[in-house]
Amino acid sequence: MNLEHAQPDRAARLQSTSQADTRLHGGWLILARVAWVVLVLFLLGTFIFSLPTSFTILYHPCTGEWCTSISSSVFLTAREMQALPQYGLSLNAYAWSTTVINVAEALVWFGMGSILFWRKSDDWMALLVALMLISWGVNSATTNLLYSSSIWRIPENGVQLIVGLTILFTLALFPNGRFVPRWAVWITLINPAYLAVYLLFLRSLRIPGWALFNNPLNAVAWFGCWILLTLAQLYRYFRVSNTLERQQTKWV
């Protein structure tokens, strides 16, 4: 009889502890909410102001090494533009449809992130996930800014940095805000430094060979990081998480 009561009590304590670890109060709560709103305004502002520029860029053929990068997949080369009529598309139709898809995608992710913020804005883990959702939604459109004037590369790189860091820390910390296993903390320390150097210096300067997935070092750093953190999430799910945390992981 005692054992039967012990298991539910233990599960309840674990769940309450998990919730308490990520709950914010007082000044920290206000600071987190203000920071979240500021970052989201930056993301949405960059996205909105990038639309005319990214729309115009779609009419120009992509040239150089960047055309083979995954981040430039929506940009067509001259040969691909000439082939559009074979698929029943004009260049104008392609530009408009691509822009509409980008806007629709951003609205969907923004809606999900906003709902999460509205319901769980006192939980820093929820704020992190909500920011990740919104930044992911605007990511595809803001990438276009890399191909415009140099002044636009600054906000574009800022968006990319937010996307990379939020995904990284969500994989490392979700759902209870703890690094599990402990070695996950080293990935979240080393990878952001490399990501910042890449986004703020190497890619902004258009150094040949440094398109994100075209360079072997970049590929190993990125994919190795995501594979390790995915394995960490699996370990957390099967060996560490309680019932509530497993359900939260399934939702995500």
pLDDT band per the 50, 70, 90 thresholds, residue 55? confident
Nearest C-alpha neighbor of 134 from the set 118, 111, 153 = 111
pLDDT band per the 50, 70, 90 thresholds, residue 146? low
* Interatomic CA distance for residues 128 and 123, integer angstroms: 9
Q: Which residue would you say has higher pLDDT here, 220 or 250?
A: 220
pLDDT band per the 50, 70, 90 thresholds, residue 6? very low
- Would you tell me how many other CB atoms lie within 10 Å of the CB of residue 120? 16
pLDDT of 200 over the 50 cut:
yes
pLDDT of 70 over the 60 cut:
no
In our burial notation (b when 16+ CB lie closer than 10 A, e otherwise), range 188-219 reads beebbebbeebbbebbeeeeeebbbeebeebe
Mean pLDDT calculated for residue range 88-109: 91
Averaged pLDDT of the chain? 78
pLDDT band per the 50, 70, 90 thresholds, residue 90? very high
* ω into 181 cis (within 30 of 0): yes
pLDDT of 190 over the 80 cut:
no
* Helix (H), strand (E), coil (C) string for the chain: CHHHHHHHHHHHHHHHHHHHHHECCHHHHHHHHHHHHHHHHHHHHHHHHHHHHHHHHCCCCCCCHHHHCHHHCCCCCHHHHHHHHHHCCCHHHHHHHHHHHHHHHHHHHHHHHHHHHHHHCCEHHHHHHHHHHHHHHHHHHHHHHHHCCHHHHHHHHHHHHHHHHHHHHHHHHCCCCCCCCCCHHHHHHHHHHHHHHHHHHHCCCCCCCCCCCCCHHHHHHHHHHHHHHHHHHHHHHHHHCCHHHHHHHHHC
In the chain, % of residues over pLDDT 90: 25
Mean pLDDT calculated for residue range 187-215: 61
pLDDT of 24 over the 90 cut:
no
pLDDT of 20 over the 70 cut:
no
Domain ranges of the chain: 25-251
pLDDT of 204 over the 70 cut:
no
In the chain, % of residues over pLDDT 70: 73
Mean pLDDT calculated for residue range 93-122: 93
Mean pLDDT calculated for residue range 61-76: 66
pTM for this model (two decimals): 0.78
